[in-house]
Amino acid sequence: MATASMTTTTTYTTTSPVTSASPPRVAVPSDLYDTPQPIYERYKAAREDWYTTQPQRARNDKAYRKARGLPTKYSKAAVKYALGHKEMGAQCILGIGQGRRDWTTEEIHAYTDFGEAENRLVEQAVERQLEQCYYLGDGIQAAQEEAIRDGQAQQLYYDNQNAYHQI
């Protein structure tokens, strides 16, 4: 007598009529507007815009800097200051597990250009305020609060211009 055995495999697929909502997407925080990477990205974008208006032979960084009235070189002291630990730092941090690299001369120049432009704006604002006797009776606290508001406004402007800071 032979015994025959039969095995059947049954697969069950279930579908649920109820789907759970995915969690809301959270905006990825953007870099601060005054950190080296965003400064350099804005510099490159402005330079590329300028390049589109120029003939092929005139498209180089030196010509761009000359047209914008920017110095083509900075002193060793200015570069050393920019690479200080309170400014750019000695090296660019590439990301978690990716290491570091030295800053390029172009990145250092863009950062230094930005710093000088910011200093000019602050000096002009202070001159206007002094002409209007702005600080009479308000004290240093009012000046600090205004500086904080200005920084927040610039960060907000940068976040609204930066198309890549949100998912």
CB 39 within 8 Å of CB 111: yes
* Residue 147 pLDDT greater than 70, yes or no: yes
Residue 80: predicted pLDDT: 93
Percent above pLDDT 70 for the chain? 71
Please report where in the chains the tokens 């490159």 appear, as a residue.
Answer: 44
What is the residue-averaged pLDDT of the chain? 77
User: What is the spatial distance between Cα 92 and Cα 108, in angstroms, rounded to a whole number?
Assistant: 11
Q: Are 112 and 102 in contact (CB under 8 A)?
A: no
**Cβ(110)–Cβ(40) below 8 Å:** yes
pLDDT in tens, 75-93: 999 999 999 888 888 888 8
